[in-house]
Amino acid sequence: MDILPKISQEVLLPVLGFLTSLSVGFPSGAQARVVLCVKTISLIALICLRIGQEMVQQHLSDTVRTFFGAFSLLQELQDQSLSGCEVPVMEVPLMEGKLLALDPAVLMELQKVFNPEMAYITYIPFSCLLGDVIRTVVPNHSLVEKLASLYLENVNPKNLQVVGLEQAPSMAGSDQDMRGTEAFSSPQEDSHSGTFGSVLVGNRIQVPVDTQREGLGFLRLSAGTDGFIPSSSCEENTLKHDLPRSTHMLCGNWLAYWQYEIGVSQHDPRFHFHQIKLQSFSGHSGAIKCVAPLSSEDFFLSGSKDKTVRLWPLYNYGDGTSEVPPRFTYSEHKKSVFYVSQLEASQHVVSCDGTVHIWDQFTGKLIRTFDELDSKAPITAVTTMPPPYHSISVASADSVLRFIDHRKPGLQHEFRLASGVNAGLIRCLAVSPNGRSVMAGFSSGFIVLLDTRTGLIMRGWPAHEGDILQIKAAEGNVLISSSSDHSMTVWKELEQKPLHHYKSASEPIHAFDLYGNEVVTGTVANKIGVYSMLESSALPVSTTKLSSENFRGTLTSLAVLPMKCHLLLGSDNGVIRLLA
Q: Quick: pLDDT tens for 188-221.
A: 444 444 434 345 555 555 555 544 444 333 333 3
Residue 529 CA to residue 511 CA, distance in Å, equals: 11
Q: Which residue has the higher pLDDT, 173 or 552?
A: 552
Average pLDDT taken over every residue of the chain: 79
What are residue 416's phi and psi, to 5 degrees?
A: -95, 120
- At residue 320, the pLDDT reads 76
**pLDDT at residue 86 tops 70:** no
Task: Mark 218-254 as b/e (b = at least 16 C-beta within 10 Å).
Answer: ebbbbeeebbbbeeeeeeeeeebbeebbbbeebbbbb
The count of residues in the chain is 580
**pLDDT at residue 494 tops 60:** yes
Range from 221-225, 245-249, 285-289 carrying the lowest mean pLDDT: 221-225
This prediction's pTM? 0.58
Range from 49-58, 106-115, 301-310 carrying the lowest mean pLDDT: 49-58
Q: Which residue has the higher pLDDT, 519 or 226?
A: 519
- At residue 194, the pLDDT reads 40
Radius of gyration in angstroms for the set of CA atoms belonging to the chain, rounded to a whole number: 31
Average pLDDT on 176-185 reads 40
Instruction: Report CA-CA distances (Å) from 33 to 28, 72, 109.
Output: 8, 18, 9
Q: How many CB atoms within 10 Å of residue 99?
A: 9
Q: At what angle do helices 116-130 and 141-155 cross, to 10 degrees?
A: 120
How would residue 87 be classed by pLDDT, with cut points 50, 70 and 90? very low
The SS3 assignment for 41 reads helix
- At residue 408, the pLDDT reads 86
Percentage of the chain modeled with pLDDT above 90: 32
- At residue 99, the pLDDT reads 60
- At residue 323, the pLDDT reads 83
How many CA atoms does the CB half-sphere of 480 hold within 13 Å?
Answer: 24
State the amino acid at position 118 in one-letter form.
Answer: M
Contact 53, 137 (CB under 8 A): no
The dihedral of CA 242, 246, 250, 251: what is its sign?
negative
Q: How many CB atoms within 10 Å of residue 368?
A: 17
Q: Which residue has the higher pLDDT, 538 or 238?
A: 538
Average pLDDT on 317-336 reads 86
**pLDDT at residue 233 tops 60:** no
